Structure 1
Amino acid sequence: MFIYLNDKIVKKEDAMISPFDHGFLYGMGLFETFRIYDGHPFLLDDHLERLNHGLEVLNIRHQFHREETNRILQILLEKNKLSNAYIRLNISAGTGDIGLQTASYKEPNIIIFSKPLPPAGELTEKKAILLKQKRNTPEGDERLKSHHFLNNMLAKREIGDSPELEGIFLSENGFLAEGIVSNLFWKKGNFLYTPALSTGILNGITRQFVMELAKKHSLSVQEGHYTLEQAIEAEEMFVTNSIQEIVPLSSFDRHVLPGKTGVWVQRFHQDYSLFCKSLWSRRNLGVKKHERKNNQGN
């Protein structure tokens, strides 16, 4: 397998960075994970927008743009003979002296990993369980998709490696937050509920996309501080992330839910399948399909 490392395509066994990289020493780094569908990087603009914002917060002097990033992705896909793939775009601060640095980082290390994924398929259910491990508060004003992943690792150890389970965090104040690697949604009446960013969650890209889809379907999207007791009254529940897409829940804390038979989960999944091979940003949901294709090189 080949990876991209600082303007070069190299074998993964040959990839090296300095032990003085502050991404390694102090966790000064960010990443985005997303899927390639038949060669198209779904919602790439949204991922890069979030990444670029995080780089400004960490004072890493680099910005990503669609054209150049997609050019690199296509080279990497061709080299690895992939058309459907998992992508991790990773950027760390770069080499510095030992000690906390206040000056900006001007030479970050950029790595892009890929691995094969099957084409998007049928809905796959999971069971959700409430974690004992609480969601930690963000290191700054908001949660970044950063290298600081110990809270998630501890939670994953709590539930084990079963692919059929997702653990759901509570905030320190006892409100529903998010999954270990996902955002949480439930539908009741004409409302789609999801925990607010102020609970300390990551503002997931698929989360934002689903919220836009819900509005297109005239659902009222409600973000707030909710308890487990409020959520288990739901008609349907699901979690989202950019690799697993939309994952219906068949149960939560032993309360039975419709899972993949849910009407709205199926509807969102159909919408996802419709857009995943052409959409660059959730903001283009109202653009007709032929216009999206014409704008792919812009």
Structure 2
Amino acid sequence: MPLTQSELSVAIDGELRTGRDAALSVWDHGFLYGDGCFEGLRLFDGRFFRFADHLARLQRSLRILGIAHEVDVQATYDVVCRVVAANELTDAHVRIIVTRGQGTPGIDPRVCPSPSVVVMAYPMPPLLGTDPVDLVVSSVRRKAPGSVDAQVKSLNYLDSVLAKQQANAAGAHDAVMLDDAHCVSEATGANLFVVRDGVLRTPTTRSALPGITRRTVLELAEAAGRRTDVVDLTVGDLYTADECFLTGSGAGIVPVGSVDGRRLPASRPVTEWVTGAYGAATRGSELTVPADGTHRF
């Protein structure tokens, strides 16, 4: 029987604790102000997928936010392996969180002497399932690039939460968010692709997170000789797409069935190819959770 949330082990600043005992200070600026960032990566059949790429993106987020924490790949790998092993997981979602740390009230980051680092690992099926999903276009705009840079996977997801509420109210599975130029950005927690005439098109990362799964799909397509295009997309491009799908570490590859009630074609040959190629890529991951207690990256 899977462990409950209270039974799952969590690492806080490198120390393992059970979920029921894991806690950060209420004065932590990650809690008070959403001041921090995180990464979510996958463990497939005991193998991590693109571990180093996720840590590199975490380091970029930290540098943009000015949080003084250098990501040590080997040390982070050690902690992640300890958490995964403690929870007896072979398939999991791993979340690495770095906050500004504990400080006094007020948003001045100088009052936080050292960051807090949390590592979690838990079972999680694809967030949106595997069946085609229905999307609506949200009125909530992505703030980037005029506010927080889209490269930052920050702890503040309020714009996504508000857009998700609109999707829920409309009876849809998720929402598409636009940027200030009225171009497609992404879904509430996943990147987006459309297919037209066999070409895979995805929005720029001007206002969308540069997703690791998004990058993987582009690399797989290009290696297979399939045409790709990173370009501004409009809502009309969604309505008239031959196919559409979402990508993300938490979501995987998710086919889209409709946008704003407009049904997309039921035939999805490119999406099916992407799903198969991505599945093969995840099974080929080389970085494993060691069984002998030695953790060498």
Change in 2 beyond 3 A, CA 1:169/1:58: same
CA distance in 1, matches of 2:175, 2:107: 34
1:149 lines up with 2:134 in the alignment: no
Across the aligned residues of Structure 1 and Structure 2, the Cα RMSD in angstroms comes to 2.6
- Cα deviation code 1:113-138 (max 9, x no counterpart): 2221359xx94321111112222334
Cα offset, 1:230, TM superposition: 2.5
The equivalent residue for 1:137 is 144
Change in 2 beyond 3 A, CA 1:114/1:61: same
1:252 lines up with 2:259 in the alignment: yes
CA distance in 2, matches of 1:126, 1:116: 22
* Code of the aligned partner of 2:18: K
The 10-residue stretch of structure 1 (176-185 or 54-63) with the greater mean CA deviation from structure 2: 54-63
Matches within 5 A, 1:16-165: 16-101=23-108, 103=110, 107-117=114-124, 123-138=130-145, 139-160=147-168, 165=173
Q: Secondary structure at the match of 1:186?
A: strand
Question: Is the CA contact 2:141–2:179 (under 8 Å) kept in the aligned structure 1?
Answer: yes
1:276 lines up with 2:276 in the alignment: no
Question: Is the CA contact 1:3–1:112 (under 8 Å) kept in the aligned structure 2?
Answer: yes
The 10-residue stretch of structure 1 (162-171 or 229-238) with the greater mean CA deviation from structure 2: 162-171
CA distance in 1, matches of 2:170, 2:9: 29
* Code of the aligned partner of 1:124: D
CA distance in 1, matches of 2:88, 2:68: 32
Q: Secondary structure at the match of 2:17?
A: strand
Question: Is the CA contact 2:176–2:188 (under 8 Å) kept in the aligned structure 1?
Answer: yes
Q: Secondary structure at the match of 1:15?
A: coil
- Cα deviation code 1:58-116 (max 9, x no counterpart): 12222224433222222212211211112211110112233333549652111112221
* Code of the aligned partner of 1:268: V
**How many residue pairs get matched?**
281
* Code of the aligned partner of 2:276: Q
The equivalent residue for 2:3 is none
Change in 2 beyond 3 A, CA 1:17/1:297: closer
* Stretches of structure 2 lacking an aligned partner (at least 5 in a row): 1-7, 288-294
* Code of the aligned partner of 2:285: L
1:265 lines up with 2:253 in the alignment: no
Question: Is the CA contact 1:155–1:180 (under 8 Å) kept in the aligned structure 2?
Answer: yes
Change in 2 beyond 3 A, CA 1:246/1:161: farther
Question: Is the CA contact 1:61–1:104 (under 8 Å) kept in the aligned structure 2?
Answer: no
Question: Is the CA contact 1:46–1:280 (under 8 Å) kept in the aligned structure 2?
Answer: no
Question: Is the CA contact 1:61–1:106 (under 8 Å) kept in the aligned structure 2?
Answer: no
Q: Secondary structure at the match of 1:192?
A: strand
* Code of the aligned partner of 1:205: I
Change in 2 beyond 3 A, CA 1:105/1:42: farther
Question: Is the CA contact 2:133–2:257 (under 8 Å) kept in the aligned structure 1?
Answer: yes
Q: Secondary structure at the match of 2:16?
A: strand
1:191 lines up with 2:199 in the alignment: yes
CA distance in 1, matches of 2:149, 2:279: 34
Question: Is the CA contact 2:102–2:113 (under 8 Å) kept in the aligned structure 1?
Answer: no
Change in 2 beyond 3 A, CA 1:131/1:12: same
CA distance in 1, matches of 2:11, 2:75: 13
Q: TM-score, normalised by structure 2?
A: 0.85
